[in-house]
Chain A
Amino acid sequence: MKRPMNAEGIKLSDQITLVDYLELGDDPHLVANECRACGAKFFDRRNACASCGKTEFHRVRVASGGEVRAFTIVSFAAPGVPVPFVAALVDCDGTSVRANLINVEADPDHVSLGMKVRLATYSLGEDSNGTEAIGFGFEPQEAHDNGK
C-alpha cells in the first residue's frame, strides 16, 4: 500500500479502505464489478452475474456525485452504532449506492429526497499497527459549495 506523505515529506500513517470497493488517492471514488455481458454492476465479490449468469467482470468507476433516492434516519440500532444517523440510497448517475449521509444534521429538516450529494471520506481511526481505516459517505453538495 502506498504510504502517503504530507507536504513536508513526513510519513503519514498507512491507510486502508473500509471496503475494497472504495479507492483513495487524490480523487476518492467507488468502483463496481461490472458484468461484461450485460453491464449489471455489483459491489461485492462475485461468483457470477445475478442478472445474466455470465462470469466475466471488470472494475468500473462509479460517479461520485448523486441524488438521494431514499433515506431513513435511524434512531434505534445495535449497541455500539452511534445514532441518529442517516442511511440512504444514492443514485450515482444510474448506479445505486448504499451509504450514510454525512456532514449533515440527522434530522428531516436537513435531509430531503432528491437532495444532491457527493462522495466524502472520513477516518475510522487507527488500529494497533497504526493503520488508519478510511470510510465513505455522501455529503450535501450545496452545503459544501457554500463553504467554499
Chain B
Amino acid sequence: MANDDVWILGIHMTKFGKHPDLDVVDLAAEAAMGALDDGGVGIKDMGVMAAGCLMMASAGIGQQLQKQIGQTGIPVYNVANACATGATALRTVIMAVRAGECDMGLAVGVEKLSGAGLLSGGSRKSDDDTWTRHGRYGAVAPIDGRIGTETMPGVFAQIGMEYGHKYGGTSFELFARISEKNHSHSTLNPLASYSKAMSLEQIMGDMMIAYPNTRPMCSANCDGAAAAVIVSDAKLRTLDPDQRRRAVKVSASVLTSDPWEESCQVLPDVNTLTRNAAKLAYEQAGVGPEDLDLVELHDCFATAELVHYDNLMLCPVGGAVDFFESGATWRDGSKPVNVSGGLESKGHPIAATGIANVWEVAHHLRGEAGARQIEGATVGLAHVIGLGSACGIHILEKAAG
C-alpha cells in the first residue's frame, strides 16, 4: 500500500572543477537531463521544478533551464538560501510531492565559481570624505577588518576555535589533519575538483588564509551542478522493477534556521540549528547516528567539519576531537565522513552542493560508488549549512529488497 514516503528516482552530478566552455545553463542542463535519464523518465513527467544558483539568485535559473530542456508550464520555484540553496531546492520538491501536488519533480542546483576569491568580505568600500553614520551600527566607515572579519574563512575559523576553547584539544595541526583526510578521500572520486592527496606538511605549509585555515583547508571554489528527480511512493510502485530497485528512500528531509542564542548575532551560531535539524531528522527517519554508514557534512572549512561531528551527534557532546583522533571519520573508520572529498577537495559550487552530497550518499546506497564504495551501506546522511543561517539535512536509505 502506498504511503507518504518519497524517493529519489534519478540523480546526477557533473564533474566539479573548471568548465570554461560551459555556462550555468549548460551545467544545469547536463545535471537535469542526467538525473531524468538516470531515473528513466523525461521532463514531461515532472510536475514541479525547484532550482537554485546563488550567484544569479534573481536570474530565474529554473526558467532559463526550461527554455533549453523543456518548457512544460509546470510551477518553477527559484530558491536562494546561501550554501543550503541546493538542499532547499530538493526539499521544495519533496514538499510539493508529499503535499500531493504532483507525483514527480525535479530539483537542480548549479554554480560557476572557478577563480572566485572571497565570497564575503572580498571587497571593502573606501572611507568617505567625511565621517557619516550609515547602517544599523551607525558606522562612519566600513567595519570589515576593523570590527572583526566578514570573510568566511575567518568566521568559520572562529567557530572551530570556539569549540576548542569550550572543550579543548584543538590545534592548527588537528584541523589540518581533518583536511588531510578529505584530500585523501577525493583521490578515489573522479568527479572531484581536486583529487591529489596532500600531506600534512603541504597543508600546514600552504598559504594561510585565516588561522588556522590554510588554503587547502578552505572549500574549493569551482563550477558544477547536481540534480535529482523525486517521486512519490504511489508513483514509484507503478514503475519498472529496475527503477524501483535503484530508488533511494528519503527518510528525512529537514530545513532549520538559527534560533536566537546569546552570541548568534556576533559570531554566527552554526551549531544550534544543525543540532536541531539532526534531532528532527533522526526522529523523522527513525534512525540514530549509530545507524549511519556514511555522512557527507558541510566541511566548508576544516574548522567547520570538527564542530559538525558534535552537532550531528556522531560523537558525545564535547567529544569531536577524540572522535576524529580515533580515526572514525576516515573511509575505513567506523563512521566515514566526506568520502567524496568534501567541500575542501571535491569542491563547493554553492547551490549544487546540497544535491551533490545527496548524490554521493545515494551512489553508495545503490552500490554504484566504484572504487570509493562504502561496502554494504544502507543508511546515510547529507548535511549543509548556509550562513545566515540555514541548515538542510537529508537522511537516505537503500530500497528494501
Contacts and interface: CB of A to CB of B under 8 A. Distances in A.
Partners in one complex: yes
Interface class of chain B by DSSP: loop
A20 B149 contact: no
Interface stretch (B20-28, B56-64, B153-161, B178-186): B153-161
Contacts of B164: 113
Kindly state the interface size class of chain B when it binds its partner. 35 or more
B162 to A, nearest CB: 4
B130 A127 contact: yes
Given A70-B161, A88-B148, A98 B121 contact: no
Nearest to B153: A76
Contact of B165 (A79, A97, A98, A113): A113
Contacts of A78: 118, 121-124, 144-145, 151
B139 A19 contact: yes
Interface string B119-149: 0011110111111010011111101111111
A74 B210 contact: yes
Nearest to A75: B208
Contacts of B212: 72, 108
B207 interface: yes
Contact of B149 (A16, A77, A82): A77
Interface stretch (A2-10, A42-50, A139-147): A42-50
A139 to B, nearest CB: 15
Nearest to A136: B147
Contacts of A64: none
Given A124-B141, A128-B129, A72 B154 contact: yes
Interface residues of A, number: 51
Given A19-B138, A127-B131, A128-B130, A81 B124 contact: yes
B169 to A, nearest CB: 12
A68 to B, nearest CB: 8
B130 A72 contact: no
A128 B130 CA distance: 6
Contact of B158 (A18, A21, A80, A87): A87
Interface of A: 16-21, 40, 42-45, 50-51, 68-83, 85, 87-89, 94-100, 108, 113-114, 124, 127-129, 131, 133, 135-136
15 contacts: A40-B262, A43-B265, A45-B138, A68-B165, A72-B161, A72-B210, A74-B211, A75-B207, A75-B211, A76-B118, A79-B123, A87-B148, A94-B262, A100-B148, A131-B131
Interface of B: 118, 121-124, 126-131, 133, 136-141, 143-149, 151, 153-155, 157-159, 161-162, 164-165, 172, 207-213, 260, 262-263, 265-267
